[in-house]
């Protein structure tokens, strides 16, 4: 049992950006309701930022500091809120806060995915909380659901859209005909993108989130480097249009499943999902996570996965949770990764080459006799069977490449990859082939 706190809960913030400002706004607007729910109020003592010359909202007046010690060494601060991002110095500040006996709330999925296996046991040993609802899918309370609501079930699979920026970009390209760069600029202007947006469009952010989700869902200590990752940078307007002709939408997916042999299938990549599916209907910065419980069956959670206020809502809900624990002197009751640390396993991760699914394949070829037959021949030799095919008519004469798109029957990933490598060497091919998975049961 920890000592009970019977005064305002005092917090110190690292980060005065999109999420930091959202937190101050939410604390101001909802102060009364929060106090009535928590049994105590929340007082912001200090907000630490880095750039002394950056213009800021007046909400930060009287709170700003550029010295981390003003939070870390203030004995009156109960909870450190880390919304600055990156591995360092964020990791160092979180570690020092825990060692000083302060609970921590963070939205930093990179830090949790890469260092959670060190920081979470440290916080449990120090009997302080390290909460991270905002780190996965922004405003959607999926961490709480996995940690608490599904504590009696066995999660066998999860799939979702967990990067708002990538979903926003693909939606803007499809719905408004924007090009990739314009759509990314829109996501940045709206505050959805990471400081380094290659994490979003390269799939790294979704991989961090999937590592966290898989740890909680499957009781497995999953590391991001174990997850096969592809971003959305190679999805072109032509793929979006071709997918639509076949009745599909391209979505940035994160997929996890427990396989019968005890291994985990973990993948982050764009995929074609049927137009009539739930995943296809999740547009813009909306996220979705579908959890498949052995007892419960499917459970779908959707909402805004990025943006100042949805993210701030998750952060402040965590502060309220920590605050309730402080008011009752009860930190550490619920394991932060849903499973008690000593029961987290390290199951094998299934090699991506073993995965079987239907495929969308696009080839840029010169429209000459025999080209299609040669492509089909190589696919057949690798046991990849064509289900449907479309060839775009000749555009500006016979030297102009045309797109040939094929949808395959179920094929093993390693066979598809081998076949594509051989096809790229064929006469008449003018660019690298594109391959996207078609996600069944989406
Ligand atoms: P921003 O880039 O808008 O803000 C980051 C803030 O952290 C800035 O105020 C910056 O200071 C401060 N900062 C960065 N480095 C340091 C440092 N070394 N020392 C002190 N302060 C520092 O990021 P966001 O608010 O968008 O994101 C913050 C975190 O929340 C990230 O981990 C992100 O992944 C996560 N997140 C973001 C979501 C979103 O929708 N934006 C959604 C879910 C999670 P300064 O202002 O001086 O530059
Ligand atoms: N950059 C992230 C996204 C923020 O676009 O989803 C939310 O984690």
Distance separating alpha carbons of residues 116 and 111, to the nearest angstrom: 7
Closest listed ligand to the CA of 162? 2
58 has pLDDT over 70: yes
CB of 20 sitting under 6 A from ligand 2: no
Angle, in degrees to the nearest 10, between helices 90-99 and 109-125 = 20
- Please give the CATH number for the structural domain made up of 352-438: 3.30.70.260
Task: Provide φ and ψ at 104, rounded to 5°.
Answer: -130, 140
What would the mean pLDDT of 304-327 be, rounded to a whole number?
A: 96
How far apart, in whole angstroms, are the C-alpha atoms of residue 253 and residue 279?
Answer: 9
Q: Report percent pLDDT > 70 for the chain.
A: 98
Domain 9-138+308-343 architecture:
3-Layer(aba) Sandwich (3.40)
- What confidence tens digit (pLDDT) does each residue in 84-105 have? 999 999 999 999 999 999 999 9
Enumerate the domain spans of the chain.
9-138+308-343, 143-304, 352-438
CA distances for 217 relative to 104, 156, 157, 256, angstroms: 22, 8, 8, 9
User: Which is the catalytic residue, given 102, 209, 251, 294?
Assistant: 209
Spacing of C-alpha 359 from chain mean position: 23
pLDDT of 263: 97
pTM strictly above 0.75: yes
286 pLDDT more than 70: yes
* pLDDT tens-digit map of 332-354: 889 999 999 899 999 999 999 99
| Ligand 1: centre distance to CA 361 (Å) | 39
The Cα–Cα gap between 440 and 442 comes to 5
227 lines ligand 1 (CB under 6 A): no
Per-residue pLDDT, 329: 87
Mutational test site, ligand 1, from 12, 13, 14, 15, max ligand atoms within 8 Å of CB: 15
- Return the DSSP state at 148: I
What the block records as the tokens of 191 is: 């505050």
Q: Is the pLDDT of residue 2 over 90?
A: no
pLDDT tier, 123 (very low <50, low <70, confident <90, very high otherwise): very high
H or E element, residue 267: strand 264-274
pLDDT of residue 247: 97
Q: Is the CB of 305 under 6 A from ligand 2?
A: yes
Tell me if 164 CB under 6 Å of ligand 2: yes
pLDDT at residue 3 is higher than 70? no
Site to substitute for ligand 1 among 53, 70, 72, 84, most atoms within 8 A of C-beta: 84
Note the pLDDT of residue 331. 84
Using CA positions, which residue lies closest to atom 15 of ligand 1?
A: 84
- Neighbour-count burial for 48-58, b at 16+ CB within 10 Å, e otherwise: bbeeeeeebee
Q: Outline where DSSP puts E strands in 367-426.
A: 386-391, 401-408, 411-412
What pLDDT is recorded for position 229?
98
Map 170-237 to HEC letters: HHHHHHHCCCHHHHHHHHHHCCCCCCCCHHHHCCHHHHHHHHHHHHHHHCECCCHHHCEECCCCCCCH
Q: How many CA atoms within 13 Å lie on the side-chain side of 59? A: 17
Cis, peptide link before residue 89, omega less than 30° from 0: yes
pLDDT given at position 395: 54
In CATH terms, the superfamily for domain 143-304 is: Dihydrodipicolinate Reductase; domain 2 (3.30.360.10)
From residue 339, alpha-carbon distances to 163, 217, 221, 289 in Å are 25, 9, 10, 20
Residue 252 pairs in a beta bridge with 270
- Per-residue pLDDT band for 394 (boundaries 50, 70, 90) equals low
Which ligand 2 atom is at minimum distance from the Cα of 306?
7
What is the predicted pLDDT for the residue at 437?
98
| Direct distance between the N- and C-terminal alpha carbons of the chain, in angstroms, rounded to an integer | 45
Ligand 1 neighbour 192 (Cβ under 6 A): yes
Q: What is the mean pLDDT of residues 268-284?
A: 97
* Mean per-residue pLDDT over the chain, rounded: 95
pLDDT digits (tens, 9 = 90+) for 6-40: 789 999 999 999 999 999 999 999 999 999 999 89
Kindly report, residue by residue over 343-392, the tens digit of the pLDDT: 999 999 999 999 999 999 999 999 888 999 999 999 999 999 999 999 98
Q: Are 290 and 160 in contact (CB under 8 A)?
A: yes
Query: Distance between CA atoms of 204 and 85, rounded to whole angstroms?
Result: 14
Structure tokens at 204: 């790294």
HSE of 193 in the Cβ direction (CA atoms, 13 Å)?
20
The CA 16 to ligand 1 mean position distance, Å, reads 7
pLDDT higher than 90, residue 138: yes
Residue 1 scores a pLDDT above 60: no
Respond yes or no: is residue 294 known to be catalytic.
no
Ligand with the closest atom to the CA of 165: 2
Place of tokens 């302060």: 102
Look at the block and give the residue holding tokens 């930022």. Answer: 49
Say if CB 315 and CB 134 are below 8 A apart: yes
Determine if ligand 1 sits within 6 Å of the CB of residue 314: no
């Amino acid at each position: 049992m920890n000592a009970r706190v019977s005064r305002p809960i005092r917090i110190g913030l690292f980060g005065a950006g999109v999420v930091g400002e959202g937190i101050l706004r939410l604390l101001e607007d909802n102060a009364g309701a929060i106090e009535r729910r928590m049994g105590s109020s929340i007082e912001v003592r200090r907000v630490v930022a880095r750039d002394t010359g950056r213009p800021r909202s007046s909400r930060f007046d009287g709170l700003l500091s550029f010295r981390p010690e003003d939070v870390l060494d203030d004995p009156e601060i109960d909870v450190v809120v880390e919304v600055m991002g990156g591995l360092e110095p964020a990791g160092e500040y979180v570690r020092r806060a825990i060692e000083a006996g302060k609970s921590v709330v963070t939205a930093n999925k990179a830090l949790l995915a890469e260092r959670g296996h060190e920081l979470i046991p440290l916080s449990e040993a120090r009997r302080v909380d390290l909460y991270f609802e905002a780190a996965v899918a922004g405003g959607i309370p999926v961490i709480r659901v996995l940690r608490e609501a599904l504590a009696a079930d066995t999660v066998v699979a999860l799939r979702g859209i967990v990067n708002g920026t990538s979903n926003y970009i693909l939606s803007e390209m499809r719905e408004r005909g924007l090009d990739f760069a314009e759509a990314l600029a829109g996501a940045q202007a709206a505050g959805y993108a990471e400081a380094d947006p290659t994490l979003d469009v390269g799939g790294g952010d979704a991989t961090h989130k999937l590592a966290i989700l898989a740890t909680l869902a499957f009781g497995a200590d999953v590391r991001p480097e174990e997850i096969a990752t592809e971003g959305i940078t190679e999805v072109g307007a032509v793929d979006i249009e071709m997918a639509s002709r076949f009745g599909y939408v391209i979505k940035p997916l994160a997929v996890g499943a427990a396989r019968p042999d005890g291994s985990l299938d973990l993948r982050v990549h764009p995929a074609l999902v049927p137009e009539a599916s739930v995943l296809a209907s999740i547009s813009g910065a909306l996220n979705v996570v579908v959890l498949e419980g052995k007892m419960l069956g499917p459970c779908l959670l959707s909402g805004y996965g990025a943006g100042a206020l949805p993210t701030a809502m998750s952060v402040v809900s965590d502060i309220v949770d920590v605050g309730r624990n402080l008011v009752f002197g009860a930190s550490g009751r619920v394991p932060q990764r849903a499973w008690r640390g000593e029961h987290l396993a390290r199951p094998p991760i299934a090699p991506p080459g073993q995965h079987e699914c239907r495929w969308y394949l696009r080839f840029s070829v010169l429209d000459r006799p025999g080209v299609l037959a040669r492509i089909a021949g190589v696919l057949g030799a690798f046991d990849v069977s064509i289900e449907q095919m479309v060839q775009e008519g000749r555009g500006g004469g016979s030297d102009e490449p045309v797109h040939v798109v094929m949808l395959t029957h179920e094929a093993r990933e390693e066979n598809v990859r081998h076949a594509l490598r051989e096809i790229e060497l064929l006469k008449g091919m003018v660019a690298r082939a594109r391959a996207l998975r078609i996600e069944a049961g989406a």
